[in-house]
Amino acid sequence: MKLENYKNYQNIHIWTGILSGLLLYICFVAGAFTMFKAPLNTWALHQEHTLPPIAETQYDTLIKKVLQAHPEASAQLSVYLPNAMPKHAPVQWVIEDEDTHQHTYWQASLDNDGALISRSTSLSEIGDFLDHLHRTAGIPGGDEHDAVGIYVMGIVCVLYFVAIVSGLVIFLPTWVKDLFALRKNKKGKRFWVDFHNILGISALPFHIIIAVTTFVFAYHDILYGGLQTAVYQDKPMFNRPAPIEADRGIENLLSISVLEDKITATEPDFKLTELNFSGLGTPRARLIMGGELVGEIIRGPYYAYWVTDPYTASAGYTAMLPSVSGIPGKVVNSFFTLHFGGFGGSFIHWIYFAMGLSGCLLFLSGNIIWIESRRKKMSTSQAVKQPVSVRVLSRLTVGVCAGTFIGIGLSVIAAKQASYSQNDIQFYQHLAYYVGFIFAVVYSFCVTPIRAAIHSLYLLVLLALGCIAISCVYWQTSLSHTIDVGVSIVATCLAVLFAICARRLVKKQPHIPYDGVWQ
């Protein structure tokens, strides 16, 4: 490759990486933890704020009693069968305030005599908050579907993809020599370049998948609109079946056993787990049935879905089912399952968790390489004045990277505590994240980056230990001791990792030049 072309690709890789790296770092950290969204939601719950489970044969009775006592639940009603997660209540629905858009959660069950128990409650859904953080990088604005952060991350992922391609181009000429090489005895920058290359090449397919699928998710409405205009024109892109004439009273809802027979006739291995009703009592009533299909290309991170009419179980929308989705449906489903890691069960979730954290290190190392490349070396004759861009990015890198973990740690602890006291959980878990994140960023500008990094790492050790401590404090009220143990093991591993990194920086600190970049 000509030197000029090499430098052009190198500049493209550098600037697309710098412009997108820190936002991608936030999304990858949150995305790694989002792989365990459902277990985290369960971990944050307490027995005092759950309702008793019921037998599967009682669900039809419970649904009808809820709709009779709470007609507002017909707008959107979720039913969780015994094998679902979380296990806070068999039935749940949400009421949204039209003025404030605040959500009030209601849940229902049956007592030992078969009488209805229903109450409003506060749910943390910390896993869902981390998922929102993963999709928006914490950028405020917009609602859940049209969040500003989603559109921003769509643009960021275009830069991300360009950085991947350009990085691969500049790596290929020396790939034989540099593949998996980690030269510690060379200059510090050489080590970080090798480390960056190893992280990028070893997870190259994963990064391509994430970049492409994120762009599709961010702009799918625009993409569909373009297809409608250019290809389908006056014809509908999706053929929705006309509503079937039927008596849509509560008593005419199909039983769960009938619905289960209907879906297993199409997908024999489908294990029904949850049902989400909407628009009950109207011609547009809809039911989304979620269930496990191990080893298949499915739409969600945990479940495959089938959309039907809850009164007739008509064919409905089957594109989400692997066996009847056809080629277009399989292509769309593959975007979801590859992004969510919805294939291969828990093993793939752990692989994606590790890939997410390795992606964080990829973006961190990229920033360090940029800073080290532009840092002016100290001279014995005169003081060195570093470029503003280098000084700002070194502080932002430390602040954002540490702040993301600090914010998530505080948010997780706040969700567990607020769930027990039934305070405004959503408010406190959001507040905890943004306070932790902003504090870390501001602190990195108040002291030298190396001191900010060391202090932040020790704080992260305390937060990881705090997650273990709060799991122990509320052990008796926990819904799942298995999940408590899992959270404690992960927190212990992170605490050890943060402590090792802090000790390494403390030992390295005396050897770092006082040149205005790191200290």
pLDDT tens column, 267-289: 888 899 999 999 998 888 899 99
Range scoring the smallest mean pLDDT among 83-87, 109-113, 149-153: 83-87
Q: What pLDDT was estimated at residue 380?
A: 55
Q: Which residues pair with 78 in a beta bridge?
A: 92, 276
Does residue 89 sit within a domain? Answer: yes
Q: How far apart are CA 462 and CA 459, in angstroms?
A: 5
User: Which range, of 225-229, 290-294, 513-517, averages the lowest pLDDT?
Assistant: 225-229
User: Based on the domain organization, do 336 and 401 belong to the same domain?
Assistant: no
Residue 275, domain member (yes or no)? yes
Residue-level pLDDT at 357:
95
The structure's pTM equals 0.89
How many domains does the chain contain in total? 3
Burial (CB < 10 A; 0-12, 13-18, 19+), residue 105, is middle
How many residues make up the chain in this entry? Answer: 519
* Centroid of chain to Cα 364: 19
Q: In this structure, is residue 189 part of a structural domain?
A: no
Contact 138, 129 (CB under 8 A): no
| Whether residue 336 is found in the same domain as residue 395 | no
User: Given 340, 361, 394, which residue is the final one in a domain?
Assistant: 340
On whether residue 171 sits in a domain, the answer given is no
Percent of the chain past pLDDT 70, that is, above it, reads 90
Q: Quick: pLDDT tens for 145-203.
A: 778 999 999 999 999 999 999 999 888 877 766 676 666 666 667 888 888 989 999 89
Which of 244, 241, 288, 291 has the alpha carbon at shortest distance from 264?
Answer: 291
- Would you call the peptide bond into 243 cis, given omega within 30 degrees of 0 as the criterion? no
One-letter amino acid for residue 43 of the chain: W
Same domain as 507, residue 395: yes
**What percentage of the chain has pLDDT greater than the value 90?**
51
* pLDDT at residue 10 tops 60: yes
Q: Are residues 320 and 389 in the same domain?
A: no
pLDDT category, 88, cuts 50, 70, 90? confident
Range of the domain at 73: 63-125
**Is 491 a member of any domain?**
yes
